Amino acid sequence: MPNRPKYLNLLQIRLPLPGIVSIMHRVSGAVLFLALPLILCGLQKSLGSFDTFLVMKDAFSSPLVKIVMIGLLWGYLHHLAAGIRHLLLDIDVGTELASARLASIMVLVVSIALTVVAGALIW
């Protein structure tokens, strides 16, 4: 009988990059789902009247709110790119180890690059 560990320490497990990107896909989806009511509430308030539009415009011009919005934008773009990667995996494209790593790197690069471009336009 091999000498097996008595417990599984999750902090010592080294997850490969495709696994990390997959977990980030799930987390970004959950964060976007939870942020959706706040975004829709802000949109509804901004469409109420011209005065509430100006209030929301002032609120969204704050640097802290802009950073949060850029973070949500990255979450959306990452979720989109990782979702496309998962769809390709479903049709058996990129299932080999080397191509899975490359696709994971591409998801990160594309989502960050698009966020930088869109964030520059937002700021």
15-27 residue pLDDT tens: 899 999 999 999 9
Residue 59 has pLDDT above 80, yes or no: yes
Q: What is the mean pLDDT of the chain?
A: 93
48-58 residue pLDDT tens: 999 999 999 99
| CB-CB neighbours of 18 under 10 Å | 20
**What pLDDT shows up at residue 70?**
96
Residue with tokens 């698009």: 114
Helices and strands, counts by H and E, the chain: 4, 0
**What pLDDT shows up at residue 5?**
64
Q: Where are the domains of the chain?
A: 18-122
Residues 6+ apart with CB under 8 A from 50: none
Q: Are 109 and 24 in contact (CB under 8 A)?
A: no
**What pLDDT shows up at residue 1?**
57
**What pLDDT shows up at residue 74?**
97
Alpha carbon distances (Å) from 107 to 33, 35, 45, 100, 119: 20, 22, 34, 10, 18
- Give mean pLDDT, residues 74-91: 97
Confirm or reject CATH 1.20.1300.10 for domain 18-122, answering yes or no.
Answer: yes
- Give mean pLDDT, residues 7-14: 80
Alpha-carbon distance of 67 to 51, in angstroms, equals 24
**What pLDDT shows up at residue 9?**
78
Residue 41 has pLDDT above 80, yes or no: yes
